[in-house]
Amino acid sequence: MQHTKPSFSELFEPAVEFPDIDMKERLAMLVGLDEVKMRLTKILGLLVHAEGLKKWAHKHHPDAGGLISIVTRRPPLVIFAGDVGAGKSELAQTIGDAVARQENINITLLPMSLSARGKGMVGEMTQLVSAAFDHTIEQAQKMQSNSGSKAHGAVILLIDEADALAQSRENAQMHHEDKAGVNAFIRGIDRLGNGRLPVAVIMCTNRPESLDPAIRRRAADLFVFTRPNEEQRRAVIEGPLTSLGLSKKEVDKIVKLTGPRDNGDIGFTFSDLTQRLLPTILLDAYPDNKVTAASATRITESISPTSPFKES
């Protein structure tokens, strides 16, 4: 029986086109991650659009052709790993805007749907993964010029919760069908790299150790996300709380409260700060009262940080 190739809409969430003003604003809201954003923008820029690096080398290091070739031939894969609520998914969804503006090209984000994992039927996962890479390659080829030189756009394939799709084949409990799907995924990454296409893949996972070693080896870079330190927490909440009238001393107290409160405790995640703490402080006073340092402190003390991800 011949299988019909899964359609684009079956494999992906709605695509996002960059540059995009809303995504630019969302990316700017990820304060405390400036160094990560800068490094990631450079790496993705090289993976999807190597012309800038070649021009730079021609100007400053004309004899470094061999090194430039090594850098530009890396598999177009970046892995985001780390704790829950650390900003991985939000950065992965928005960083394309910074890359598009840096490289002055259009970028299409293709978020792979969870349905691409399939339902475990024989041959299904392999077919779905292969079809997802087929569609990605087709989109990337449209970005290339007819001469095959400079691309006028690029594609970023986003795979969230990647450990559900590309877990290690060394796992003794792993089903044959899952192993076949991982093999298909590795072939897909290699197809993108060998094709020298304007495309990059971002994989997000809470469990980097669960990813197949062959996939980890192929990554051009691995970004590890942790809970924000004191400086990062202050960068997130100081501006909003100051705008509500809290003093620096009052803000400092809340910054401390969002960190580990006892030995062995964990601090707030980025999402704890932006999606729970700040909105709760605001809505506690709305619509009749004013936000006070006392109310902000009380609310901060009442919120428990999100528990870290644990293996089941």
Note whether 186 and 53 are same-domain residues.
yes
> What pLDDT is stored for residue 1 in this prediction?
42
Q: Is residue 39 part of a domain?
A: yes
> What pLDDT is stored for residue 5 in this prediction?
77
Write the CB contacts of 237 (distance below 8 Å, at least 6 apart in sequence).
Answer: 251, 254, 255, 258, 273, 277, 278
Domains held by the chain: number: 2
Using the structure block, give the residue that is written with the tokens 């495309």.
199
When comparing pLDDT for 295 and 125, which is higher?
Answer: 295
| Tokens matching residue 298 | 């009380």
Residue 179's domain comprises 8-225
Tell me the mean pLDDT in the region 30-57.
Answer: 90
The answer to which of 29-33, 34-38, 157-161 has the lowest mean pLDDT is: 29-33
> What pLDDT is stored for residue 283 in this prediction?
97
| Tokens matching residue 137 | 């390659």
pLDDT, tens digit, 9 for 90 and up, residues 74-87? 899 999 998 888 89
> What pLDDT is stored for residue 23 in this prediction?
97
What CA–CA distances, in Å, run from 105 to 19, 30, 93, 155? 8, 23, 17, 11
pLDDT, tens digit, 9 for 90 and up, residues 194-247? 888 899 999 999 888 888 899 999 999 999 999 999 999 999 999 999 999 999
Note whether 170 and 242 are same-domain residues.
no
Q: Is residue 149 part of a domain?
A: yes
Note whether 196 and 256 are same-domain residues.
no
> What pLDDT is stored for residue 171 in this prediction?
65
Q: Name the average pLDDT for the chain.
A: 88
Note whether 137 and 41 are same-domain residues.
yes
User: Where does a domain end: 166, 195, 225?
Assistant: 225
> What pLDDT is stored for residue 311 in this prediction?
56
Note whether 194 and 253 are same-domain residues.
no
Residue 106, by phi and psi: left (phi above 0), alpha (psi -120 to 50) or beta?
beta
> What pLDDT is stored for residue 259 in this prediction?
96
Residue 272 pLDDT exceeds 80 = yes
Residue 122 pLDDT exceeds 50 = no
Tell me the mean pLDDT in the region 44-60.
Answer: 89
Give phi and psi for 233, each to the nearest 5.
-65, -40
